[in-house]
Chain A
Amino acid sequence: MGKLKFALYWGAACGGCDVAVVDTHEKLLDIAAAADILFWPIAMDFKYHDVEEIADKHVDVCLFSGAVRNSENEHVAHLLRQKSKVMVAFGACAQLGGIPGLANEKRRQEILDYVYHGSPSTVSQKGVYPQETTSVPEGELRLPKFYDTVMTLDQVVDVDYYLPGCPPESARILEVVEAIVTGNLPPKGAVVGALDKALCDSCPRKREEKKVKAFYRPQEILFDLERCFLEQGLICLGPATRGGCSDPPRCIRSNMPCEGCYGPPPDVTDQGAKMLSAVGSIIDSQDPSEIKKVIDGIVDPLGTFYRFGLPASALRKKRFA
Chain B
Amino acid sequence: MKTISIDPITRLEGHGKIEIFLNDQGDVENAYFQVPELRGFEVFCLGRPVEVLPRIVPRICGV
Residues of chain A whose beta carbon lies under 8 Å from any beta carbon of chain B: 10, 12-19, 41-48, 69-70, 72, 98-100, 102-103, 105-106, 110-112, 114-115, 119, 130, 136-139, 141, 143-144, 146, 166-167, 217-219, 259, 299-300, 303-304, 307
Contacts and interface: CB of A to CB of B under 8 A. Distances in A.
Given A19-B62, A114-B43, A143-B36, 10 more contacts: A15-B62, A16-B59, A41-B11, A46-B10, A99-B56, A115-B40, A119-B42, A138-B1, A141-B19, A259-B55
Nearest to A20: B62
Contacts of A167: 62
Majority-rule SS of B interface residues: loop
Contact of B60 (A14, A106, A114, A303): A14
B21 A138 contact: yes
Contacts of B34: 141, 143
24 contacts: A10-B15, A14-B59, A14-B63, A15-B14, A15-B61, A16-B62, A41-B10, A41-B11, A42-B11, A44-B10, A72-B36, A102-B44, A103-B44, A106-B40, A111-B38, A114-B40, A115-B40, A115-B43, A130-B38, A136-B30, A137-B30, A138-B1, A300-B48, A300-B52
Given A115-B38, A141-B32, A144-B36, A105 B49 contact: no
